[in-house]
Amino acid sequence: MVRNLILSGGIGHPFADLAQALADLLREIDVASEITEDIEGGLASLAGGEFRLLTVYALRWRMLTGDKYAPHREKWAFSLSQNGRRNLAEFVTRGGGLLALHTAAICFDDWPQWKDLLGGAWVWGRSAHLPLGPIRVSATPASNFITAGVETFALRDEVYGNLDLTPDVEPLLVGSDSGGTWPVLWTRQAGAGRVVTDLLGHDRATIEQAVHRRILTRSVQWLLMPEGQTSS
């Protein structure tokens, strides 16, 4: 069974429930997940070679500004160490798979390479989303195993807008709400490794929505494919 490390924890989302929902889903395709809120410890464990997949499903950033975050800073404010950065980057570029879900794009805000790995990052003062509510998600014309045959579907989630995207991002899915339409899923190659950035996933219902379940399953299958293979 393939092993997956899920980095979890943070504010504003039921991360323990979310991580378990994802772990339950992936077990159906023979992926066993270990869940931890210890970001540094988890990344250090990647060097042992036991994990083939890393999932970041957390909200950990420096929380430098904003009175609303003051009550949470002591527990949740976070800056990834140099060792943590190296462990994460080397895991992916040497052939590991990285699944970045929802709030992952907000994480590690003082590490520029994180944006390069994911293909995009949240920008405080520019990026935003409307309150949790109904959205529509559609596949783009870009061809990929993950979204092949996916028709437009609806769910209750958040659409992140105005992220800082790298120029080479080619969205596979876009999400629409009353505020506009924005990329919500794309893939990346990072050295010998692969990355899927999926900005959906605010709560358990979004993980268990039928079409998104299929997309998540395919995303992990794509991440674990041998180098050079693009479909099953």
State pLDDT tens for residues 52-61: 999 999 999 9
**What pLDDT digit, counting tens, does each position of 60-96 carry?**
999 998 899 999 999 999 999 999 999 999 999 999 9
Of the candidates 231, 220, 167, the residue with the CA atom closest to the CA atom of residue 194: 220
**Domain annotation covers residue 230:** no
Residue-range definition of the domain harbouring residue 53: 2-223
- Residue 231 in any domain: the answer is no
Concatenating the DSSP letter of every residue in the chain gives -EEEEEEEEESSS-HHHHHHHHHHHHHTTTEEEEEES-HHHHHHHGGGS--SEEEEEEE-----S-GGGGGGHHHH-----HHHHHHHHHHHHTT-EEEEEGGGGGS-TT-HHHHHHHTEE--TTT-B-PPSEEEEEEE-S---TTTTTPPPEEEEE---BS-EE-TT---SEEEEETTEEEEEEEEEEETTEEEEEE---SSHHHHHSHHHHHHHHHHHHHHTSPTT----
Q: Residue range 43-49: average pLDDT?
A: 97
The per-residue pLDDT for 232 is 47
Residue 231's pLDDT band, with cuts at 50, 70 and 90, is low
Judged against a pLDDT cut of 90, whether residue 230 lies above it is answered with no
Characterize 193-216 residue by residue with b for buried, 16 or more Cβ atoms within 10 angstroms of its Cβ, and e for exposed: bbbbbbbbbbbeebbebebbeebb
Q: Is 84 within a domain? A: yes
Count the domains in the chain: 1
In percent, the amount of the chain with pLDDT more than 90 equals 95
Within-domain flag for 39? yes
Render pLDDT for 128-172 as a digit per residue (tens, 0 to 9): 999 999 999 999 999 899 999 999 999 999 999 999 999 999 999
Residue 148 falls inside a structural domain:
yes
In a domain, 86, yes or no: yes
Evaluate the CA torsion angle 101, 102, 108, 109 in order and state its sign. positive
Q: Is residue 228 part of a domain?
A: no
Residue 214, pLDDT > 50, answer yes
- Amino acid code (one letter) for 160: Y
**How large is the average pLDDT for residues 2-12?**
98
CATH number at residue 219: 3.40.50.880
Q: What is the pLDDT of residue 143?
A: 81
Is 232 part of any domain? no
pLDDT of residue 97: 98
Name the percent of the chain lying above pLDDT 70. 99
What is the predicted pLDDT for the residue at 65? Answer: 85
- Mean pLDDT over each residue of the chain, to the nearest integer: 96
Q: Is the pLDDT of residue 39 over 80?
A: yes
